[in-house]
Structure 1
């Protein structure tokens, strides 16, 4: 049985354990691990079918699980390209998200970040999506191109309105772009993996045997992934905006206090001068 599939079938984890596991998969070192090390890790897991992820005593097994889960697709046992492994998601998208929520200066400055972000997100979703159903290469290409074009359009639409009508309020400049970015990130997952609920994905029993295809399982997989993506990118884009808002507000208050203090000093010096002349 495919080790990664065996892991998801046998390992039952709490939310905290899954969160800690996700942080391990996001380890940047997973991007540079060699193919030779990945193959050795896979051979170790295949040779020891009873190797548990919770076995903390064997560090070799722990490292083997980490490399396997972060670099190999569980459905087809193929190596995930480095730029589209889980560990590459945040390093690649963080600059794009940051540039996407910056104040609009020109049409060119907002097109490139939006196109880059949704292109990478779409390819990432297709590469890491379920691969247990039949699909042809041209279907993925056409679907991906359509998703990129539509996501970019809806991502640019509020920015175009902002430029056209000169909207400079905090709501239109900071809040709405973040909300739209988060929602489009989830919709991007739904659209780029839309074939899964239509054709169904493989469903296995506890022994790893395929018992059929389920559209309901495909719908649930997309829903869970889309929800996590909305939270991930919504939080990533919202937190910097909050810090930036309070920083600007604190700076303005500090400058105002400093100005008032200088004014009081000047007024007091003038009053003392007048008294001395009198």
Structure 2
């Protein structure tokens, strides 16, 4: 078992402990470290030596920058600490009340392209075979997911333009209410389709000693479903809180006198909610998940000492 997973097994089994760990791991200054520093940090974490306070930075580098299946360094823009600085402007722009369809499609395309890349880079890759057929299939899945999510995400603006909506209440419905469930559903869809291979081929499961015992489709489906739910919570909440906040504030005298205040309040609140929700969403489910003996394939049940097996959920 990878040193990162061994860490999550010993330290990340409660929600509060995971939340505390993720607040530390999402420090964007770790993005300034070189690949050589990250590889050395990963080796140090796997050396079995007891880490002191000076080694805390190495631990953070390994957990936030190294893929727990392959042991390779994650691409810079798809590391967890990069999610907030890169996705924040994309989320803000995608939730703006656009005047036409083209800018809505453009920002939705950027957002869902980055989300698909992040989901793919942080998947569970324990069962993958390097083959051209699989690579082509995965590329088509990602392209189809991004295309569908882009069009679906721009539907509120498409409806407003095509139907010529001028009614304020109906515009509020399309611009402020509909994007909330739509953002959650599309975030779930993005993860579920991009990582569908894990459900089809299975992922590596481990016994209580960290020894690989085989591939489980049930564990793969559970890992993908949990990650998709956490991402839906992230983007659904990020769309809900600012939109509902602006709707409430627009009823006050201050906002009725100064309508221009709505835009900065919306932008700032989107960035703040996204920043707070990223560690929460990452913490909803353990990085090293467990699956009960009765839920895995029959050939793996004998290895479930203690009644359960472990799997890497991905991110």
What's the TM-score, normalizing by structure 2?
0.74
1:46 matched to 2:46: yes
The alignment of Structure 1 onto Structure 2 pairs a total of residues equal to 250
Query: Mapping of 1:108-127 within 5 angstroms?
Result: 108-127=102-121
Does 2:68 match 1:74?
yes
Rg larger in 1 or in 2? Answer: 1
Unaligned 5+ runs, structure 1: 53-57, 257-278
CA RMSD, 1 decimal: 2.0
Give how far 1:18 is off: 0.6
Task: Determine the C-alpha separation between the residues in 1 that align with 2:173 and 2:100.
Answer: 20
Displacement after TM superposition at 1:7 (Å):
1.7
Cα shift at 1:94: 1.4
Structure 1 residues 253, 42: CA separation in 2 closer, same or farther (over 3 Å shift)? closer
**What SS does the aligned partner of 1:202 have?**
strand
Deviations 1:109-146 (CA, angstroms, capped at 9, x unpaired): 11110000010101111110010112432222121111
User: Do the aligned partners of 1:133 and 1:202 also contact (CA within 8 Å) in 2?
Assistant: yes
SS of equivalent to 2:178: helix
Q: In structure 2, what is the Cα distance between the partners aligned to 1:220 and 1:6?
A: 20
Please give the alpha-carbon distance, in whole angstroms, between the structure 1 residues aligned to 2:256 and 2:11. Answer: 54
CA shift, 1:50, in A, is 5.4
Using the TM superposition, give the Cα deviation of residue 254 of structure 1 relative to its aligned residue in structure 2, in angstroms: 6.6
Gapped runs of 5+ residues in structure 2? 259-315
Conserved in 2, the CA contact under 8 Å of 1:51 and 1:61? no
Compare relative contact order (CA 8 Å, sep 6+) and give the higher one, 1 or 2: 2
SS at match of 1:213: strand
| 1:103 matches 2:105 | no
* Cα offsets for 1:149-200 (capped at 9, x unmatched): 1111221223211221234422222010122012101111001101111110
2:194 to 192, 204, 225: 192
Cα 1:74/1:253, change in 2 over 3 Å: closer
With over 3 angstroms needed to count, the CA separation of the structure-2 counterparts of 1:251 and 1:28, relative to structure 1, is farther
